[in-house]
A and B are shown apart, each in its own frame.
Chain A
Amino acid sequence: QTVVTQEPSFSVSPGGTVTLTCGLRSGSVSSSYYPSWYQQTPGQAPRTLIYSTNTRSSGVPDRFSGSILGNKAALTITGAQADDESDYYCVLYLGSGISVFGGGTKLTVL
């Protein structure tokens, strides 16, 4: 069973920079997993932020960026704003039609 790991929670100051990560309990994340990132606020459907490691979805501001850092995928928010306070999920595509979500990171902006 493939387990995708994310920090359960993180906090950032307004205007600050934060990097959330997405790893594998066993193994390394590479671009071959086509990591994608989603933002979800309470009561709302997810919103697609990043796909294929580092491509921003349409309409996503450029303060959101994706990368591979070491053996993990990463989502960096530069110049955090109050409305960035959300849950963030990564997804890895395992191939053969199978996707796996990470457990999500609850980001607090304070």
Chain B
Amino acid sequence: EVQLVESGGGLVQPGGSLRLSCAASGLTFTTYWMSWVRQAPGKGLEWVANIKQGGSEQYYLDSVKGRFTISRDNAKNSVYLQLNSLRAEDTAIYYCARFRSSSQKFYFDYWGQGILVTVSS
């Protein structure tokens, strides 16, 4: 059974930093892209970032480019999201997800339970 477990969320001041982690199990981690998706309170889902299997290619939502960095450690079956220069509008539940990327398939197929990030003074 695939499991994705996020950690590292919490309260941070505007301009601050936070590092989210997602530990994956039940899958051949090196085979898959991984993603972060967020949801602001009372709002819809928003894709944030993708990372390819090897980690050398990352893709970002325009509003987080230059502030957020997605990375992965395939030896630890983990994916990370470094959040810098945080703003109030980054307040959200952040979900880790597995992204299926292959011929004729591009979608999120497994999701973690999410971790709350609150940016406030």
Stretch among B12-20, B21-29, B76-84, B106-114 lining the A interface: B106-114
Please determine whether A45 and B112 come into contact, CB atoms closer than 8 angstroms: yes
Closest approach, in angstroms, between the C-beta of A45 and any C-beta of chain B? Answer: 4
Q: How many residues from B make CB contacts under 8 Å with A?
A: 26
Give the dominant DSSP class at A's interface.
strand
A91 touches B107 (CB 8 A): yes
Task: Please give the residue numbers on chain B whose beta carbons come within 8 Å of chain A beta carbons, in ascending order.
Answer: 35, 37, 44-47, 50, 52, 57-59, 62, 95, 99-100, 104-114
State the 7 A-B residue pairs at the shortest beta-carbon distance, nearest first: A97-B59, A93-B106, A36-B107, A51-B107, A104-B44, A45-B111, A34-B106
Q: Contact residues of A with B, CB < 8 Å? A: 1, 34, 36, 38, 40, 45-48, 51-52, 57, 87, 89, 91, 93, 96-104
State A48–B100 Cα separation when bound (angstroms).
12
With A38-B45, A104-B44 given, can you name 16 additional A-B contacts, CB distance below 8 Å? A36-B107, A40-B45, A45-B95, A46-B37, A46-B95, A47-B111, A52-B106, A91-B47, A91-B107, A93-B107, A97-B52, A97-B57, A98-B50, A98-B59, A99-B47, A102-B44
Closest Cβ neighbor of B47 among chain A residues: A99
- Closest A residue to B51 by beta carbon equals A97
